[in-house]
Amino acid sequence: MHLSVLEKLPATPMWTQYSAIKRDALDALLFYRMGDFYELFLDDAVEASAILGITLTARHKGEDNPVPMCGVPFHSATNYINRLLQAGKRVAICEQTEEAGATKGIVKREIVRVVSPGMAYDSDALDAGLNNYLVVLKPGEIPGQGAYCVADVSTGSLEFSVYVSPEQLRDDLSLIQAREIAVPSSVVDTTSWNELVKTVGPEFFSCVTPSPDFYFAPKQGFQDLCRHFDVLNLEGFGLSEGDPALPAVSATYRIIRETQKQGDLRHLIPPSPRPREGFLQLDESTIEHLDLFPKPGQNPAESVFHHLNRTRTAMGARKLRELLSRPLSMAAPILARQKAILEMKANPSLLRGVGEGLSGIRDLERLVAKVGLRSAGPRDLQALQEVFARLPSLKTLLGNESSAPLLRKLESSIESFSELHAYLSQRLREELPANTREGNVFRGGWNKELDELIALTEDGRAVLEKMEERERASTGINSLKIKYNRVFGYYIEITNSNLANVPTHYVRKQTTANSERFLTDELKKFEEKILSAQDKRVALEEALFQEALLRVGQESQHILRTARELALLDALFSFATAAVDHGYEAPEIVADNALEILDGRHPALEKLVGRDKFIANSSHFTAKERAFLITGPNMAGKSTYMRQVALIALLAHTGSLVPARSARIGLVDRIATRVGASDRIGRGQSTFMVEMNEIARILRQSTSRSLLVIDEIGRGTSTFDGLALAWAILEDIVERLGCRALFATHYHELTVLEQKYSSVRNLSVVVEERNGQVVFLHEVRRGKAPGSYGIEVAKLAGLPPPVIERAKGVLEIMEKNSSKLQKAQKEALHKDSQLTFFGAAPAVAKTPEHLIKLEEALRAIDVEHCSPFDALMTLKDWKETLPSTKSLC
């Protein structure tokens, strides 16, 4: 909203206050609390009412300057706020910070929280299996370099990193999948920023928040961070005073503090460097192409995650996702995980016990974060208490039954929080309300004042009965009654016949026909107490609740550490369970460039087509044979085979067992895949350019330890361009990179490369022809495919017989004339100059003269003004002048 809009508001106290507050939240939708509603005004109202589909009205309706307005009830605001966040909006929540009527004039109001897509507002509304990341980016002096900090406020994580090239930043961002990126406001819209966004990829910058430059000041940040984490310097977190990442970390902390004003943020985990070394690099398109995770609008069972996810907790699901998108690149940690998984797989009682121990464990990370953000309710504390109750037996089980070092380490670092558990279970009731508004959170028996208030509010009647009994005994009047009415409150009623026995300290209040009504000091006190007890009880419970939050907050860091260990345990449990369910085996991890898979399967497809129908295939990469060129008709199974090899390699690097009879996997530093344009029409991009862009990136970033999967590239351009490019790209991979590569192609011409390079081998996916029909065997064998069977596949697809017949005729003619292409192929094979091939191509592509004439004639026809007779005559002419088919081409 623009400042000038505010200046036009009426000069009343309310609008003056509104303007002052709104000035600090120009980039957010301001939720201005008025009684039971949050009201939005001006442009905020117009925008929010459109997104939320609520009525837009106006304040000062019918006057000269009506102010657009819409509102949402405060008790259902969460839902509306979540929807605005989903639409990528920021929301500033402004509360009344004093009781209405406490002072003269207008009630004080303040922004208590600013929420944005990258900030947790209501972590219950977040996808439990996904992190909600905010990235705070600080570009450096040198273009393309800088630092960032990635935070998930809903779990407290805080990691920083530098990047030395846009590619590196792109790799990182594609793994992080941030909901929001904050940058210094002076940077936004500068040429270098626009350049960075363009090179990294605009898709990563859909929600950019400009933040004040001074948030990034490292000196101030250093002091803030030292104070918050109570340390003298940040060396312990891997952050020196001059660290290039310090501005980004400082700004992250500042942004969280400025937006989450109510929280004490004790749940923030001290910042740590986001390690880049030690991980196998994957980029976004590879993750997508390998179908690692479910995609919107797609059957989740098509994703690998779906079949591996046997986690029992939300933390575990997030962890599993992380392990899959960040596989390891070093043998030792991979083997440590593998050992743990193997041990659980081999020991059914351990596996079952861990599963049972984890079931029902709620999302500790988000629970603790809610405590730190002061958005936790009574049921959140109860959930913590329930988690703590489960930990001791899980620890005992691991202690007794595991020997794998990683499991033993988990066992010792999972704490059981018995004191905190006792604290909570002593205090909390069993049935809890969602909030503290009406009390009923705490049980009796541990706090005297509370006991009294509980007794008064719940056992008021019993207290009265006791008092009545006591009074009867002391006065000797058996008909004495304590009664209550709305006008007089509580009183003691004594019938006229007993008046003589009334003690002197009874104060007469009222006389009726048959009786008199009295008060005592005790009864008066009781009345005061009981009437205000409810209020007092609610206030006391609120205070005790805040105390409990503080108590839990003190343990935040310990709880979060345990949460991380539980998450890892759950992810390992999931791998082990999946391995049992699907019959996976442990791969051998080796240091050389091997990739030998015996009877490998595709982890998702084998489930979709059925294990008995899925054909297992092997692969044999060795030091000598590193690049495989796969030919075979469409639908034969080329893409499936390549993905399966890449997935088995990837899974092996996560520590998981793999869908194969056995596997020997040499460590890989990057898996990169590229799918030809036609296979990815779904993305709707200008495909050829994107395809070449990605190939360029892959060629630049890969090393001899990388694994490349290249599926039908070159389709987005003319046949000869495509073939030439595919040829040159494959040569570059083989000659310069020398890495492991799988290359599926429909250019059969490429198969001759096997003769040129000893490291290149042809593979084909076998089909059989039975009675003129192709049958897909999905079996990968050595050697090139005998033909492409394109026409047979088209026939299977139901193309009309005349079209099929004609296609066969044309094919025959073309094949007879292919000798020139074969010659060109030979030349390209033996000459190293890249351009030879282009030079040879036009000779074949030249269009015969009569076709040129035909085209000219066709273009000359004005179809709209051409009679049927003229058309027929033209056809006849053409037919007569056409050379015989045999001489075509």
Q: In the complex, which residues of this chain contact ligand ADP (CB under 6 A)?
A: 605, 609, 613-615, 617, 632, 634-640, 778
- Is the CB of residue 779 less than 8 Å from the CB of residue 617? yes
3-state secondary structure 232-258: CCCHHHCCCCCCCCHHHHHHHHHHHHH
State the binding partner of 615 from Mg ion, ligand ADP, none, CB within 5 to 8 A by kind.
ligand ADP
How many other C-beta atoms are found inside a 10 Å radius of the C-beta of residue 339? 18
Q: Does 639 bind Mg ion (CB under 5 A)?
A: yes
Q: In the structure encoding, which two tokens stand for residue 651, read together? A: 């899974």
Q: In the structure encoding, which two tokens stand for residue 119, read together? A: 């900030």
State the binding partner of 778 from Mg ion, ligand ADP, none, CB within 5 to 8 A by kind.
ligand ADP
Q: Which is nearer to ligand ADP, 138 or 746 (CB)?
A: 746
Q: Which is nearer to ligand ADP, 162 or 605 (CB)?
A: 605
Half-sphere exposure of 288 (CA within 13 A, CB side): 14
Q: Which is nearer to Mg ion, 454 or 615 (CB)?
A: 615
Residues 6 or more apart in contact with residue 698 via CB below 8 angstroms: 672, 674, 708
Question: Least distance from C-beta 702 to ligand ADP, angstroms?
Answer: 22
Question: Least distance from C-beta 766 to Mg ion, angstroms?
Answer: 16
CB under 5 A: which stretch of 17-25, 220-228, 442-450, 638-646 binds Mg ion?
Answer: 638-646
State the binding partner of 372 from ligand ADP, Mg ion, none, CB within 5 to 8 A by kind.
none
Q: Which is nearer to ligand ADP, 256 or 648 (CB)?
A: 648
Q: Which is nearer to ligand ADP, 615 or 672 (CB)?
A: 615
Question: Least distance from C-beta 632 to Mg ion, angstroms?
Answer: 9
CA–CA dist 537, 550 (Å, integer): 20
Q: Which is nearer to Mg ion, 516 or 606 (CB)?
A: 606
Nearest in space to 136 (alpha carbons), one of 14, 293, 247 = 247
Residue nearest to Mg ion (CB): 639
Tell me how many residues contact Mg ion (CB under 5 A): 1
CA–CA dist 852, 873 (Å, integer): 20
CB under 5 A: which stretch of 217-225, 415-423, 631-639, 766-774 binds Mg ion?
Answer: 631-639
Question: Least distance from C-beta 774 to ligand ADP, angstroms?
Answer: 12
State the binding partner of 609 from Mg ion, ligand ADP, none, CB within 5 to 8 A by kind.
ligand ADP
How many other C-beta atoms are found inside a 10 Å radius of the C-beta of residue 479? 11
Q: Does 211 bind Mg ion (CB under 5 A)?
A: no
Amino acid at 885: T
Question: Least distance from C-beta 781 to Mg ion, angstroms?
Answer: 17
- Letters for 363-392 (x = contact with Mg ion by CB under 5 A, - = none) are ------------------------------
Q: Which is nearer to ligand ADP, 243 or 606 (CB)?
A: 606
Question: Least distance from C-beta 326 to ligand ADP, angstroms?
Answer: 27
Q: Which is nearer to ligand ADP, 5 or 793 (CB)?
A: 793
Question: Least distance from C-beta 292 to ligand ADP, angstroms?
Answer: 17
Q: In the structure encoding, which two tokens stand for residue 791, read together? A: 């026409």
3-state secondary structure of 151: strand
Q: Which is nearer to ligand ADP, 289 or 362 (CB)?
A: 289
CA–CA dist 24, 30 (Å, integer): 10
Question: Least distance from C-beta 294 to ligand ADP, angstroms?
Answer: 17
Q: Which is nearer to ligand ADP, 152 or 606 (CB)?
A: 606
State the binding partner of 436 from Mg ion, ligand ADP, none, CB within 5 to 8 A by kind.
none
Question: Least distance from C-beta 609 to ligand ADP, angstroms?
Answer: 5
Question: Least distance from C-beta 642 to ligand ADP, angstroms?
Answer: 8
Q: Which is nearer to Mg ion, 359 or 678 (CB)?
A: 678
Question: Least distance from C-beta 613 to ligand ADP, angstroms?
Answer: 6
Q: Which is nearer to Mg ion, 94 or 636 (CB)?
A: 636
Q: In the structure encoding, which two tokens stand for residue 702, read together? A: 């890969």
Q: Is 609 exposed, middle or buried (0-12, 13-18, 19+ CB in 10 A)?
A: middle
Question: Least distance from C-beta 1 to ligand ADP, angstroms?
Answer: 51
- Is the CB of residue 702 less than 8 Å from the CB of residue 708? yes
Q: Does 631 bind Mg ion (CB under 5 A)?
A: no
3-state secondary structure of 37: strand
Distances 779 to 350, 637, 638, 644, 767 between C-alpha atoms, Å: 39, 8, 10, 13, 8
- Is the CB of residue 30 less than 8 Å from the CB of residue 40? yes
3-state secondary structure 320-388: HHHHHHCCECCHHHHHHHHHHHHHHHHCHHHHHHHHHHHCCCCCHHHHHHHHHCCCCCHHHHHHHHHHH
State the binding partner of 636 from Mg ion, ligand ADP, none, CB within 5 to 8 A by kind.
ligand ADP
Distances 285 to 52, 195, 309, 617 between C-alpha atoms, Å: 34, 21, 21, 25
Residue nearest to ligand ADP (CB): 637
- Is the CB of residue 579 less than 8 Å from the CB of residue 650? no
Q: Which residues are at the interface with Mg ion (CB under 5 A)?
A: 639
